[in-house]
Structure 1
Amino acid sequence: MTVLVHLVEPAAWRAALDTGALRPPSLADQGFVHLSAPGQVHLPAERLFPGRRDLVLLVIDPARLPGPVRWAPGVPGDPPGMRFPHLHGPLPTSAVVAVVPHRPPAEPVLPRPDDPLGRALTLHRSLRVRRAAELRDVPGGVAVLDPGFRYSRDDNRLVLHEPVDAGTVAATAAALAADAGWPHVAASLTWAGADDVAAELAGRGWQAEELLVMARPAAPPIPGRRAEAVDQREVHDLWERSWRRDLPPSEADLDEVVAQLVGREHRNDRVVAVTDLAVREDGRVVSAGQLRVDGATAAFESLTTDPAARGRGHGDAVLAAALDRAAGAGCDLVVLEADAADWPRHWYARRGFVPVGSTWEVSTQAGATTESSR
């Protein structure tokens, strides 16, 4: 299935998520949005954004556009006879099936609209890259770093999508940990067949966790009651209680660790549209989850329910509200990651989520052997 692309600054894309459409200056000045075929995008990138590596490529399904795309000649200097696609109207965010960081000279991986695994992996990788305080190129992908949240493995790790061997993963992560002062070494292995590398690292004392990538359509809705949308600060107390239960009692600097793990979450809304959904009992938030919308793809994350409030349908209420909002935003796909060895994967399966693939998270504490993942 053929896709089109549009190169844009991340801030412009984030603003479009709030309005439902991207309206670049060319729409007012020339009457259309400049698009490209995947093999053409390097030409406007070099002409308009020379040397930039902080942009994103919007992957567009032409079948979702409200009007036909017209092909027209480029500008002087483009290859003779080359024609570029033009959209004569705003670009709906619901036509964008993926948002890919543009980091030349690396070749971008563009998922097809009908590939739920590719779209899910792109969203999970892209979010980490787009919110990172610092990025470094490494064999097989990139390293994301954020010294302001050094205890967060999600924000200080390797994010790898091309095959590399276990020795390269270990050496690269250890070198970065030493240079950046990480208290851990961690990597996401997101290519097909990464289980062999994960198994070898587990044999070296690393913790290796397989995550099932699960997906379902945003509609039809799940029947039943709905959670309410809340300011994220109202969920902080629930998150803090959860982290204090889950972290080992021996965790050094426990208060600082918990503060960072709670405090990091607000940054997601800088790059994707985030809605926090919650259920209250006696005015107190006892269950919550988060919906992250990035064009036509949404991710459901961080479903948490107080142990004393479980078994009352709160998780269903939160998930149902998330699916409603995803459908309302024009998403056709909702994705999540679930521990392949834990019971929630069955809970999600009963609610329409289907496994479409898996990834591996590998980690170890710097200077030690294993530590619970966060």
Structure 2
Amino acid sequence: MSVLVHLCEPATWRAALAVGALHPDGPFVHLSRPEQVHLPAARLFPARRDLVLLVVDPARLADPVVEEPGVPGDPDGMRFPHLYGPLPAAAVVAVVPYRPPVPLALPAPEDALGRALALGLSVRTRRAAEVRDVPGGVAVLDPRFPYSRDDNRLVVVAPVDADTVERAATATGLPHPAATLTWPGAGGVAAGLARRGWQAEELLVMARPPTPALPGAQRAEVVDQREVHPFWEAGWRRGLAGTPDLDEVVAQLVGREHRTDRVVAVTDVAVREAGRVVASGQLRVDGATAAIEAVGTAPGARGRGYGDAVLARLLERAADAGCDLVVLEADAADWPRHWYARRGFAVVGSTWEVTAADAQAGATQDSSR
């Protein structure tokens, strides 16, 4: 059986992540095949474009799925899969923004790259203050954090040309034009923009399964995110030294971070020396897929295995959450890609980050170890 989907509000899904399952509101959880979902969408959420589709692997469901008729008005003979029991978060292989009439792109359970790209697009879309359609994708905007390029950018998933990217960045009023290009072959458009003065950076998408009980994981502890803020601030100040309005830039980069936990389950871990955080990393869990972000070690504490401890604890937490896939992005031109490869991460694809030449420094966390 191919994937099934469940349509819901983002807040409903976030609540399900907190308890590990989406419980039925009635005798069953209403599932659909992808080609059917427009029917319950029109009936239950007319004209809504802020919903998410949970992409469900039927093989991961323990409770019975029964084919049953829908409601009067559905096409004659149409039947829907009804799950008689809770929908486990670990059965949800991807969470995809539902923005009709944009065609659905639903990754298969075994498609590590597709799942990674879906997570990146979905998190940015769900936490955005505003989402606009652009050719090939969306623009996400948040006027509260204009210095954060991650929160004010295009995310383009279907092929377009360099002219289209430039026009869309201008038309949407991005404070610092930037775009993520994710379709296969996007490097050609990135190169074209680079010839026009844009900065182009290839990010490798890397993946591996999580692992429980890794050696060294106990050296890193789960912490309240606020305990890591001074560590992040110090890293951004090092990386952005000389940036105009540095204090405001750093304040916005720290201030934006709490919003991610409103849409996915976020865990921050850290290693301390003399009570001070000297290494940290973050795990973002969205169903069966987890993403690792911002693994870093303070310059004076490197070479002591703290990065390994942080990574081990994050992989352990992903396993505890029931994930079967952990993903991350690494600069194709920088050394951390090799560090991750030695720790079991394999390259499954790449994306391109492009930034207009006049864009000021933005939302890249310090990833040094």
Structure 1-normalised TM-score?
A: 0.95
Residue 106 of structure 2 aligns to a residue whose secondary structure is coil
66-75 vs 157-166, which moves further? 66-75
**Are 1:33 and 2:18 an aligned pair?**
no
Pairwise CA distance, 1:23: 1.1
Residue 354 of structure 2 aligns to a residue whose secondary structure is strand
* Alpha-carbon distance between aligned partners in 2 of 1:225 and 1:117, rounded to the nearest angstrom: 27
**Are 1:245 and 2:238 an aligned pair?**
yes
Which of 138, 141, 155 in structure 2 is aligned with 1:142? 138
- AA aligned to 2:22 is L
**Are 1:127 and 2:123 an aligned pair?**
yes
- AA aligned to 1:3 is V
Query: What pairs with 1:212-227 in structure 2 (closer than 5 Å)?
Result: 212-219=204-211, 221-226=213-218, 227=220
User: Which residue matches 1:9?
Assistant: 9
* Alpha-carbon distance between aligned partners in 2 of 1:43 and 1:259, rounded to the nearest angstrom: 45
* Alpha-carbon distance between aligned partners in 2 of 1:99 and 1:294, rounded to the nearest angstrom: 7
User: Which residue matches 2:70?
Assistant: 74
**CA 1:371–1:263 in structure 2 vs 1: closer, same or farther (change >3 Å)?**
closer
The answer to whether the 8 A contact 1:65-1:91 is kept is yes
RMSD over equivalenced CA pairs, Å: 1.3
The answer to whether the 8 A contact 1:205-1:370 is kept is no
**CA 1:289–1:337 in structure 2 vs 1: closer, same or farther (change >3 Å)?**
same
Query: What pairs with 1:264-343 in structure 2 (closer than 5 Å)?
Result: 264-343=256-335
**CA 1:13–1:373 in structure 2 vs 1: closer, same or farther (change >3 Å)?**
closer
User: Which residue matches 2:92?
Assistant: 96
Pairwise CA distance, 1:170: 1.1
223-232 vs 136-145, which moves further? 223-232
The answer to whether the 8 A contact 1:101-1:126 is kept is yes
Long gaps (5+) in structure 2: 365-369
**Are 1:58 and 2:54 an aligned pair?**
yes
User: Which residue matches 1:114?
Assistant: 110
* Alpha-carbon distance between aligned partners in 2 of 1:327 and 1:369, rounded to the nearest angstrom: 39
**Are 1:359 and 2:355 an aligned pair?**
no
Residue 147 of structure 1 aligns to a residue whose secondary structure is coil
* Alpha-carbon distance between aligned partners in 1 of 2:91 and 2:359, rounded to the nearest angstrom: 45
The answer to whether the 8 A contact 2:147-2:362 is kept is no
Count the aligned residue pairs: 363
Moved over 6 A (4+): none
Superposed CA deviations along residues 252-292 of structure 1, whole A, max 9, x for unmatched, are 11100000111111100000000000000000000000000
* Alpha-carbon distance between aligned partners in 2 of 1:144 and 1:295, rounded to the nearest angstrom: 23
* Alpha-carbon distance between aligned partners in 2 of 1:347 and 1:286, rounded to the nearest angstrom: 19
* Alpha-carbon distance between aligned partners in 2 of 1:39 and 1:252, rounded to the nearest angstrom: 50
* Alpha-carbon distance between aligned partners in 2 of 1:76 and 1:369, rounded to the nearest angstrom: 54
- AA aligned to 1:259 is A
- AA aligned to 2:355 is S
* Alpha-carbon distance between aligned partners in 2 of 1:354 and 1:198, rounded to the nearest angstrom: 23
Long gaps (5+) in structure 1: none
Residue 341 of structure 1 aligns to a residue whose secondary structure is coil
Pairwise CA distance, 1:175: 2.8
* Alpha-carbon distance between aligned partners in 1 of 2:359 and 2:15, rounded to the nearest angstrom: 43
Superposed CA deviations along residues 8-56 of structure 1, whole A, max 9, x for unmatched, are 1111100111101101423xxxx11110011100000001110011110
The answer to whether the 8 A contact 2:148-2:363 is kept is no
Residue 120 of structure 2 aligns to a residue whose secondary structure is helix
**CA 1:94–1:161 in structure 2 vs 1: closer, same or farther (change >3 Å)?**
same
Which of 153, 156, 176 in structure 2 is aligned with 1:157? 153
* Alpha-carbon distance between aligned partners in 2 of 1:138 and 1:221, rounded to the nearest angstrom: 44
**Are 1:199 and 2:195 an aligned pair?**
no
Superposed CA deviations along residues 204-240 of structure 1, whole A, max 9, x for unmatched, are 1110000000000012653224310101010000000
User: Which residue matches 1:232?
Assistant: 225
Residue 37 of structure 1 aligns to a residue whose secondary structure is coil
**CA 1:261–1:372 in structure 2 vs 1: closer, same or farther (change >3 Å)?**
closer
User: Which residue matches 2:367?
Assistant: none
The answer to whether the 8 A contact 1:14-1:272 is kept is yes
The answer to whether the 8 A contact 1:286-1:306 is kept is yes
* Alpha-carbon distance between aligned partners in 1 of 2:83 and 2:363, rounded to the nearest angstrom: 45
**CA 1:136–1:274 in structure 2 vs 1: closer, same or farther (change >3 Å)?**
same
* Alpha-carbon distance between aligned partners in 2 of 1:72 and 1:56, rounded to the nearest angstrom: 23
